[in-house]
Each structure stands twice: as structure tokens, then as C-alpha cells.
Amino acid sequence: MIRPSVCRLRIVYRHVDLCLSVFPWADFRTTKGAIKLHVGLNHAGYLPEFVTVTEGKNHDVIVGRTLAFPKESIVVIDKGYNDYTWYKQLTERGIFFVTRLKTNAKYRIVSRRPVLKGRGLICDQTIEFGGPQTAKKCPVQLRRIAYRDSETGKRYVFLTNNFKLAAKTIADIYKARWQVELFFKWIKQNLKIKSFVGTSKNAVMTQIWIALCMYLLLAFLKFQSKLQKSTQQILRLLQMNLFEKRDLMALLRGDPPGDKQPNINQNILL
């Protein structure tokens, strides 16, 4: 069992495409500019625990190596952060990771465990990496789990250093990574980070940080109000009443504008 205090993070990056002729400082490819938004979402509430913005050409794992996680955290890592040396370091520090195994990875099967094939599991193996370079970078034994999604029929191969959790739990942990995709989709659609007001590096960074701060404020407002409104509904409601002087909680509850009902929660928000 996982202790309630254990932190689960999902670390991913996303490119924010920029026109190289307009944003020459964001050099990424020959004719393309971009920056990378690295986000770690906490499993409890799927709120950003950390965010780092780098230039598009910076390698993803460089950011990953700088992060400090509590011992026994479970870190779900995008394939862009693949680094065998880092896997060894995380294991030595008592931090669990779940990621996708590279298709061209060379390894040796040490042992096999039985799996429930009716639950989509194909295999559950203990492996060691082969090849002189890879074996030197990551000399620890890891766990390889193959799983087929019953809905899409797609086959996934996971790599983890966690031998305690059930194989299906490992697959479910990685599957929950979809929440990160929903997070990026939400901020792109609702907080306008596809187009930028300014073209300087500082202007772009400022707009991104403002959008993320706005997301956290909306999440706090949703939690504090304890109402069954989505974050998007709260955002639309605030946009429609942006220049109205209203009691915030009364607005969220849908009270008439003239209703002056006192609400002590308003003081908490202020």
C-alpha cells in the first residue's frame, strides 16, 4: 500500500510553437521557434507543483535532473525525459518512477511473474539493461510491464523501479497521465497562451506565468467556494462580470445583484 503522504507527480513538457521570424530568440529548428513548458502535476488535485519554462532547444532531462522529490515519491515521466543515469540516481534516492520503455532498448530478462491476462496485462518481468554503455549508466534491475489497452487495442511497455505495486496499478498510474494532457488543453483554450501580446522573451514568459497564476487562483476559488461549478464555468462567470462590483461568493452562488447576504468565506479569499 502507498502511504497517503507519498507524493505522485506527473512530469511532462510541451512545446509552445512560435514564429522564428517574430521571436528570433526562441531558436528551435531551422525555420521554427519554440519554448518548452515543463510541468509537474501533483496527483492530489492535479495542480501544478512546479513549472519551468526553457527555450525549445534545451534537452528535457536537464530540467528533470534539477528537481528534488520527497523519498518514496512516484514520478510519472514523459519519454522525453529518458535518461538511464537519472533512473539509477532516482532508484538510489528511494524515488519511484514510471515511464515508457524505448522500443530499441536492449535488455536481459532476469525473472518473470505471472499476470492476469484478462485485465490486459501481457507480461511482468525483471530486467537488466544490456550493452556496455547502457549497463554502465543503469546497472540496477528494473521492472518491465507490457499492457494492452482494452479500449484502443494499443500495446504499451512500461519501465519502473517499483516492485511493490501490482502490475495493473503501474499501468493505471501511467494512464492517469492523461490528466496532464487535459491540463495543457485547458490552459491553451481558456488562458490564451497560443498568441502573445509581446514578442520579447520577457513578454512571452510574463504572459505564460500570468496564465498559470490565473489557473491556480481559479482552482483555489473553486475549492474555497465548495460549489459544483467547473473551473471553466467560474472563469466565464468572472469574465462576464469583470467590471461589476459584486460579492464574490454571492456571484458564484448565483444570488441576485441586490442580495447583501453576509458570507464569512469572502474574508478568507481577501
What confidence tens digit (pLDDT) does each residue in 114-141 have? 998 889 999 999 999 988 888 899 999 9
CATH 3.90.350.10 residue spans of the chain? 8-182
Contact 78, 98 (CB under 8 A): no
- pLDDT of 51-70, one tens digit each? 777 777 767 677 777 777 78
Residue 176's pLDDT band, with cuts at 50, 70 and 90, is confident
CA 198 from centroid of its chain's CA atoms:
27
> 266 in helix, strand or coil?
helix
Buried b (16+ CB within 10 A) or exposed e, 203-214: ebeebbeeebeb
Q: What is the pLDDT of residue 1?
A: 31
Contact 51, 39 (CB under 8 A): yes
Q: What is the pLDDT of residue 7?
A: 43
Q: End-to-end CA distance of the chain, in Å?
A: 40
Architecture of domain 8-182: Alpha-Beta Complex (3.90)
| Mean pLDDT across the chain | 79
Separation of alpha carbons 134 and 105, rounded Å: 9
Residue with cell 537488466: 128
User: Which three cell numbers, joined as nine digits, stand for 147?
Assistant: 499492457
- pLDDT of 217-270, one tens digit each? 888 888 888 878 888 888 888 888 888 887 888 888 777 776 555 555 555 554
